[in-house]
Amino acid sequence: MATICQHHVIACMYGIREQHLAQRPILERAGINPNVLIREGQRVHTEQVARLFKGVQECLDDEFMGFTQHGCKVGLFATMGELVNRCATLGELLVKAVDFYNLISSDIPMQLTESEGNAILGFNMDQPHLDPENFMTEFWLVIWHRFPSWYIGEPIRLQETHFTFNPPQHRGELQIMFPSKLHFNSSSNRLIFDRHYLDKPLVRSDQELANYVENAPADVMTIPGSDTILEAQIERIISQRHPDRLVFASIHKLAKELGMSSQTLHRRLKESATSYQKIKDNLRREVAINKLIHEKLSVERVSEAVGFSEPRSFTRAFKHWTGLTPREYCKQNS
């Protein structure tokens, strides 16, 4: 899923609103136009959402993002990573991780159990009223599906996912986030999967773990195996077409590369609530932000690299995407 519904963008800033802090600068630093909060039906790219989540965590110095009675200081996930990096199997990792978080916090008590050949990783929010839209509940489930999947180098196939709340309006999104049988109004929030995954060896190196932790929660937002998703396939094709700049083929040529008709491609993208133009805009924005902030290229060079004929058009598009001009964005992220 390369984009996420605006519900998560709005819900993640509950703690920011509760402390009467400004939302706009955090959104803009994440590369999100603040108007996304008022436009119905907006979807936001996972890279932007990951930057937003990290921005909220850093602003509050709380990896639980203001959804619990006691904060969880930024850096605890990294400490947990150091603790588990000598484990041999996923089962060992989960036992140590559960013990670690239960020791440092009583806000999200976790349990790992086995039953009838299944592993069950579950928890209940200690103060669920502090998570009124169930954002933290969903986010914690995402983390403990994605991180273990990444560590064993393959997606953990969920059999069931349980939630303690009623089916939300974004239920369809949850079906994508947790591809399994969904249960609502359950006694606890649970990920249920075959226990054979507990015996899987951990395949990531120390350096890979260090990079993962440093980028968190960016890699957490990626659904394991999502390279097969059409939108991700298209982004990869475009990114690999030319080493120095984005080159966009016609939708007819792109469809041919994907082995389908342009009508089928258009229909499948529409079913995924996106379009070729949206994919191009998302890719342009992410490449532009990387070249402006990390490569320190000029606006003129970035404009050319992302496929604009002249800088003025690029500046207008960038402000539409993020709410800031390229120079304003660089200044805010310097």
Residue 161 backbone dihedrals phi, psi, to 5 degrees = -130, 125
Distance CA(25)–CA(150), nearest Å, equals 32
Nearest-CA neighbor of 194 among 99, 116, 292, 275? 116
Nearest-CA neighbor of 36 among 52, 18, 21? 52
Per-residue model confidence as pLDDT tens digits over 33-69: 888 777 776 788 888 899 999 999 999 999 999 999 9
Instruction: Answer whether 156's CB lies under 8 Å from 224's CB.
Output: yes
pLDDT at 183: 96
The terminus-to-terminus CA distance of the chain in angstroms comes to 30
pLDDT at 129: 96
Distance CA(325)–CA(316), nearest Å, equals 7
Mean pLDDT (the chain, rounded): 90
Assign 259 to helix, strand or coil.
coil
25-28: long-range contacts (C-beta < 8 A, 24 or more apart)?
Answer: 25/332, 26/52, 26/55, 26/56, 26/59, 27/52, 27/323, 28/322, 28/323, 28/324, 28/329, 28/332
Q: Quick one: average pLDDT of 10-32?
A: 93
Which tokens sit at 40?
């119905």
pLDDT at 222: 64
Assign 99 to helix, strand or coil.
helix
pLDDT at 251: 93
Residue 241 has pLDDT above 90, yes or no: no
pLDDT at 223: 60
Nearest-CA neighbor of 77 among 3, 154, 139? 139
User: Given strand 158-162, what is the order of strands in its sheet?
Assistant: 110-115, 118-123, 189-194, 158-162, 181-183
Q: Which domains can be identified in the chain, with CATH numbers? A: 3-199 (no CATH), 229-332 (1.10.10.60)
Residue 154 has pLDDT above 60, yes or no: yes
pTM: 0.80
Instruction: Answer whether 227's CB lies under 8 Å from 60's CB.
Output: no
Distance CA(41)–CA(59), nearest Å, equals 27
* Per-residue pLDDT band at 272 (split at 50, 70, 90): confident
Run of H or E residues at 225: none
Q: DSSP letter at 285?
A: H
Q: DSSP letter at 250?
A: -
What count of other Cβ atoms lies within 10 Å of the Cβ of residue 135? 21
Query: What residue spans of 242-275 are helical by DSSP H?
Result: 251-257, 262-271
